[in-house]
Amino acid sequence: MPTFDVVSKISYQELNNALSNCLREINTRYDFKGLNIAIEFKEKEKQIVTLAPDNMKLKQINDLFTGHLVRRKIDPRIIKIKSVEDATGNSKRQTVELQEGIDQESAKKIITQVKSSKIKVQVKIQGDELRVDGKKRDDLQETMQLIRGIDIGRPVEFTNFRD
């Protein structure tokens, strides 16, 4: 029976490359010279913490980082920008959370869409990913097209396709 998995994963190598390119550009930009600006990637918490003197610089840094994500072919929907908080030394701090995996609410949304389309496949939730089973390969490809059209707020990939 043909199957495939629906996942939402982050390529941490490409994320690190985008982050280091962003830092390199910040260090060379004239409007950031002499300012206390830092970007730190906390891998265990899956967060990126940005430190800047004011809100305008924070927004510029986030726009720069988003641009570098796009250049590295990473969907910018993987990041969720939190609110700005005050930090020490009269500066501002902002936390960016990385969203990985398909949460339960999005999984249920995908399952209801697939069931309402009357395609003869079965979708099962397996942790933070989905497994789709079907008798025909064409049904699975049609399901892939349907899932691509559903907006769950994060990118999805199709892996482990077995015939």
Q: Looking at residue 133, what is its pLDDT?
A: 93
pLDDT tens across 33-77, in order?
888 888 999 988 899 999 999 999 999 999 999 999 999 999 999
b (16+ CB within 10 A) / e for 89-102 = eebbbbbbebbeeb
Cα–Cα distance between 33 and 65 in angstroms, integer?
Answer: 18
Grade residue 163 by pLDDT with cuts at 50, 70 and 90: confident
Q: How far is CA 107 from the centre of its chain?
A: 16
Region(s) of the chain under CATH 3.30.70.860: 3-8+101-162
Please report where in the chains the tokens 């994320």 appear, as a residue: 15
pLDDT tens column, 71-81? 999 999 999 99
CATH 2.60.40.10, domain 3-8+101-162, yes or no: no
CATH number of 12-98, picked from 3.40.190.10, 3.30.70.990, 3.40.50.12780, 3.90.950.10: 3.30.70.990
Rg (CA), the chain: 20
Distance CA 111, CA 104 (A): 10
∠ CA(130), CA(48), CA(51), 5° rounding?
160
- Give dist(CA 117, CA 139) in Å, integer: 11
Q: Quote the CA–CA distance of 110 and 128 in Å, as a whole number.
A: 13
